Amino acid sequence: MFIDEARILVKAGDGGNGCLAFRREKYIPRGGPSGGDGGHGGDVVLISTEQENTLLKFRFNPEHKAERGRHGEGSNCTGAAGRSIEILVPVGTIVYDEANGERLYDFTKPGENFRVARGGKGGKGNARFASSTHQVPTEHEPGRPGEERRLRLELKLLADVGLVGFPNAGKSTLISRISAARPKIADYPFTTLEPSLGVVQLDGFRTFVVADIPGLIEGAHSGHGLGIQFLRHIERTRLLAHMVDVSEATGRDPVHDFEIIMSELASFSDELVRKPMIVVASKIDAAQDPERCAALRALAESRGLPYFEISSVTGEGLDTLKYAIADRVLSTPQE
């Protein structure tokens, strides 16, 4: 199951209390105060890893608490520090403070770590308060509480190219033909229920990552179909490939389909509409009316968008599309 949003509670360890003690030992006539300090509480640290690709585990384990520090002891013994805990999150996770909505950290590379909750300091024992004028101190401090936060984790997949379009526009078939990804493919709408990634390899050790997201329909911004909840996964992409089914089987106008998807993208984010985009006419092997392709080509040219025609079934146009995408991806700086 693919989960891309979760809410968790993190609690750093409290600091241990300082100790109140005096030395009463034989042959030490002036023992004096000997209360040790409390140990510091453990921290809560988030670490990004490529071994995780979903936030599912946080649905079943929403609370994460570090160990508290031990209290100080006599003979000037400092309490042991509490153990910190490390929480693994997928690369692409964004951490928000749920209380105020502040974005705390954005994990974009594996191995990054962020201390999200700091452990409390240990309290001072009474030995710390001894002086020449205050030789019998009874003061000692309690440990400081560790930080506690409620967090919202949001996962955005890291990909170079995002495939958008109506359900059954051929997105899953395309990604299965140009990469090693094997998404579910069927002849009914909403076959793709969760985003999937595919790595496309070209000559010269060139590669790029394609993200296939569930299809959009008219009114997706209002929750129709699967809604627009998965569009966050293409916000980081360098290029959008807008796939339009030009076959007669849809019974719809390809130009109208293009405009509907653009409207849904705009309702989610103006930045998505401004991203570099190419138009891909899919299923040309089943397109009997050449006017459907011609109208879509004219629309792309009027918007200054590159236009390609492909058939994932016969393989027509796939190589041209792959190399055109690679050229545009490698020439576009990553956000």
Range of the domain at 37: 1-155
Both 142 and 71 in one domain: the answer is: yes
Give the domain CATH number at 186: 3.40.50.300
Amino acid identity, residue 293? C
CA 203 to chain centre: 30
φ, ψ of residue 295 to 5 degrees: the values are -65, -40
Both 318 and 273 in one domain: the answer is: yes
Closest CA to 44 of 147, 152, 155, 150: 147
* pLDDT score at 220: 60
Q: Which of 155, 174, 197 represents a domain boundary (last residue)?
A: 155
Both 318 and 268 in one domain: the answer is: yes
* pLDDT score at 268: 85
Which segments of the chain have a pLDDT < 70?
A: 1-2, 183-193, 219-227, 332-335
* pLDDT score at 297: 94
Measured from the Cβ of residue 187, the count of other Cβ atoms closer than 10 Å reads 7
Give, for 267, the enclosing helix (H) or strand (E): helix 254-268
pLDDT digits (tens, 9 = 90+) for 126-151: 999 999 899 889 999 999 999 999 99
Both 133 and 214 in one domain: the answer is: no
Both 270 and 203 in one domain: the answer is: yes
CA 87 to chain centre: 14
* pLDDT score at 228: 72
* pLDDT score at 101: 92
Tokens 């984010």 belong to 269
Q: In this structure, are residues 258 and 245 in contact, taking their beta carbons and an 8 Å threshold? A: no
* pLDDT score at 123: 96
Q: Which two tokens stand for residue 129?
A: 């308060």
* pLDDT score at 193: 63
* pLDDT score at 334: 62
Both 65 and 178 in one domain: the answer is: no
pLDDT digits (tens, 9 = 90+) for 60-77: 899 999 999 999 999 899
Give, for 58, the enclosing helix (H) or strand (E): helix 57-60
Both 144 and 194 in one domain: the answer is: no
Give the end-to-end CA distance of the chain in Å, rounded to a whole number. Answer: 28
Both 301 and 264 in one domain: the answer is: yes
Give the domain CATH number at 119: 2.70.210.12
Instruction: Please give the angle made by the CA atoms of 127, 129 and 135, to the nearest 5 degrees.
Output: 80
The C-alpha atoms of residue 73 and residue 125 are separated, in whole angstroms, by 8
Closest CA to 118 of 9, 45, 16: 45
Both 108 and 141 in one domain: the answer is: yes
Q: Which of 98, 128, 155 represents a domain boundary (last residue)?
A: 155
Tell me how many domains the chain contains: 2
Both 151 and 188 in one domain: the answer is: no
The C-alpha atoms of residue 103 and residue 95 are separated, in whole angstroms, by 6
Q: Which of 136, 155, 174 represents a domain boundary (last residue)?
A: 155
Both 244 and 272 in one domain: the answer is: yes
Both 217 and 83 in one domain: the answer is: no
* pLDDT score at 227: 60
* pLDDT score at 149: 96
The C-alpha atoms of residue 76 and residue 29 are separated, in whole angstroms, by 17
